[in-house]
Amino acid sequence: MIKIENLTKYYDATLAVDSVSFEVQKGEVVGFLGPNGAGKTTTMRIITCYLKPTSGKVTIEDFDIFEQPIEVRKRIGYLPENCPLYPEMNVLDYLNYIAELRQIPRAERSKRVREMIGVTSIGDVLHKDIGELSKGYRQRVGLAQAMVHDPEILILDEPTSGLDPNQIIEIRQLIRDIGREKTIILSTHILPEVSATCNRVLIINDARLIASGTPDELVSRAQGAEVITAGIKGPEEAVFEALRQADFIAEFRKVREELAGEQSWLTLEIQGQGDQTSEKLFHLAVRQGWTLRELRLERLSLEEVFARLTTA
């Protein structure tokens, strides 16, 4: 569907994108992440034929952006971070205008515009000037213009930028719904949004692609060994000795201790060695006769993974 090979872009002497390669398959919703200035927006503008690369190759459904840019544009809907809407036009006139620019046959225009009004839930503001709309409604209008020609691919650059929490939830749900039928590349700084909507994540830093995978895969790679928080009631020295002898535990430390009669509740942070550490720890506790009140696998958040990868 989308294939990028050794994409490079210079602005004069400044390297903005450095030999980036990746593919996006039909039906994927891909989060495209990176710090400001990493090269995300430049890459998206190249994919959508708004910029020419210095070198490399980009094909959209086997159409080359150099040789067949019109065919590429027909297949892509693009919502830039600051969508260039016309504030003096009302919403309905604007969508009809975009449908005409997209060369949708006259007999189909009204139907396509009505469908986009329904999909983006903008029926209440059709006759308002765009300049009077809230940021949330302007984003909805921007999504409607990106989809009015029924493209297979959507490129969305910071679609929830500047929205309040309720608007973010609404746009996120809208993207999730659209993603059932479209291929989407989504750029955002709101990482829970990626976890909630994306099948796969690409991370770019200093103009280079540094990571690719599902959110769970990226977390697993960054985290390495399992880390478990365990609440164990038992004699401290006996507990510690059993943990030292366990071949599935790399190291552990006591986080806190609470007296409970003759024994104590020990809260421990345990780093595993190999797989299924939590299950093995449970069976060890049963054999030793310890009481467990907590056994929790600690996981890095996507924000923590992103910080580790982009600040190293």
CB 169 within 8 A of CB 178: no
- DSSP states of the chain: -EEEEEEEEEETTEEEEEEEEEEE-TT-EEEEE--TTSSHHHHHHHHTTSS--SEEEEEETTEETTT-HHHHHHTEEEE-SS----TTSBHHHHHHHHHHHTT--HHHHHHHHHHHHHHHT-GGGTTSBGGGS-HHHHHHHHHHHHHTT--SEEEEESTTTT--HHHHHHHHHHHHHHTTTSEEEEE-S-HHHHHHH-SEEEEEETTEEEEEE-HHHHHHHHH-S-EEEEEEEE-HHHHHHHHHH-TTEEEEEEEEEEEETTEEEEEEEEEESSS-HHHHHHHHHHHHT-EEEEEEEE---HHHHHHHHHH-
Confirm if 81 and 148 have CB atoms less than 8 A apart. no
Q: Report the distance separating Cα 106 and Cα 104, nearest Å.
A: 6
> What band does 172 get if pLDDT is binned at 50, 70 and 90?
confident
Q: What is the pLDDT, as a whole number, of residue 110?
A: 93
Residue 173: what pLDDT?
A: 84
Q: What is the pLDDT of residue 308?
A: 84
pLDDT, tens only, 190-238 = 787 888 889 899 999 999 999 999 988 888 788 777 889 999 998 899 9
* pLDDT tens figures, 288-307: 999 999 999 888 888 888 88
- In this predicted structure, what is the pLDDT of residue 260? 72
Q: What is the pLDDT of residues 76-90, one digit of tens each?
A: 999 998 888 999 999
pLDDT digits (tens, 9 = 90+) for 95-123: 999 999 999 999 999 999 999 999 888 99
How crowded is residue 106: how many other Cβ atoms within 10 Å of its Cβ? Answer: 8
| pLDDT in the model for residue 286 | 94
| Contacts of 193 by beta carbon, 8 Å cutoff, 6+ apart | 31, 160, 168, 172, 186
Is the pLDDT at 312 greater than 80? The verdict is no
| pLDDT for the residue numbered 229 | 94
Structure token digits, residue 292: 């467990």
Per-residue b or e along 131-143, where b marks 16 or more CB atoms closer than 10 Å to that residue's CB: eebeebbbbbbbb
- Residues 42-60 have a mean pLDDT of 95
Percent of the chain with pLDDT over 90: 66
Residue 78 has a pLDDT of 95
Average pLDDT value over all residues in the chain:
90
Domains of the chain: 2-220 (3.40.50.300), 222-304 (3.30.70.1340)
Residue by residue, DSSP assigns 160-187 as TTT--HHHHHHHHHHHHHHTTTSEEEEE
Residue 168: predicted pLDDT: 79
What mean pLDDT is predicted for residues 246-269?
88
Give the torsion through C-alpha atoms of 171, 175, 178, 184, to 10 deg.
140
Give the pLDDT of residue 81.
Answer: 83
pLDDT at 261 over 80: no
pLDDT value, residue 171: 79
**6 Cβ contact list (under 8 Å, min separation 6):** 19, 20, 21, 55, 56, 57
